[in-house]
Amino acid sequence: MNEQNNLQNRTRSVQMIVRATPEEKGFILKKMEQSGLENFNLYALKMLITGSVKNVDFTHYHELAKEVSRIGTNINQIVKIANTNGNINKREIEELKNKMEELWRLLKSSLSGLQ
């Protein structure tokens, strides 16, 4: 009887259930710890009410990544031909490689900023 009275006196009487994998649970508990909130119910309510969901269309970035990959393949073919013929300027090849690495870094950086 005492338990029934206790349920009637709650301000939050509606229960919601969320299922998660063990890995997701660990991630959630880590985020909860980082938030400074020790009560899961309060953390979950705060995140559900004030949190936001970002819907991002990655189509453009996937196409960009494919194109960058094609450019990298072309550079590798050029380097292979230059090495085979012996007509190679090592400084220019290194510059090409550095620019390609920078392009990949920028692409990865812009993608990680969206998540």
This prediction's pTM: 0.41
Burial of 93 (0-12, 13-18, 19+ CB in 10 A): middle
- Residue spans of the domains in the chain: they are 2-50, 59-112
Query: Taking 60 as the threshold, does the pLDDT of residue 37 lie above it?
Result: yes
User: How confident is the model over 58-98, as pLDDT tens digits?
Assistant: 777 787 888 888 888 887 887 787 778 777 777 877 888 88
Phi/psi-derived region of residue 17, left when phi > 0, alpha when psi is between -120 and 50, beta in every other case: beta
Query: Taking 80 as the threshold, does the pLDDT of residue 52 lie above it?
Result: no
**Residue 89: predicted pLDDT:** 75
> CA-to-CA distance for 86 and 102, rounded, in angstroms?
27
